Structure 1
Amino acid sequence: MANVTAKQVKELRDATGVGMMDAKKALVAVDGDFEQAVDYLRENGMAKAAKKNDRIAAEGLAATYVNGNVASVVEINSETDFVAKNVMFQNLVQYFAQLVAENKPADLESALKIKTEKGTIETDLVEAATVIGEKISFRRFAVLEKNDDAAFGAYLHMGGRIAALTLLDGTTDSDIAKDVAMHVAAINPRYVNDAQIPAEELEHEKEVLTEQALNEGKPAKIVEKMVEGRLHKFKAEITLVDQPFVKDPDQTVEQYVSSKGATVANFVRFEVGEGIEKKEDNFVEEVMNQVKK
Structure 2
Amino acid sequence: MNLIKKISIGTAQFGMNYGERNKKALSFTKIRKILTYARSIGIQNIDTAFNYGRAEEKLGIVGVKNWKISTKFSKIPSNENPVYWIEKHLKKSLKRLKIKKINTLFIHDFNSINKNEKKAEDIMKFLKYLKKIKLIKNIGISIYDPKILNRIIDLKSIDVLQAPANIFDRRIFQNKNVEILKDNNISLEIRSIFLQGLILEKLNNIPKKLNDYLIYFKKIEKLSNKMNTTKISIALSVLNNQRFDKLIIGFNDENELKEIVENIPLKTKNLKPFFIKKKNFLINPYLWNTK
Mark yes or no: TM-score above 0.5.
Answer: no
TM range, normalised to the smaller chain?
Answer: under 0.3
Provide the TM-score with structure 1 as the length reference.
0.24
Structure of greater Rg: 1
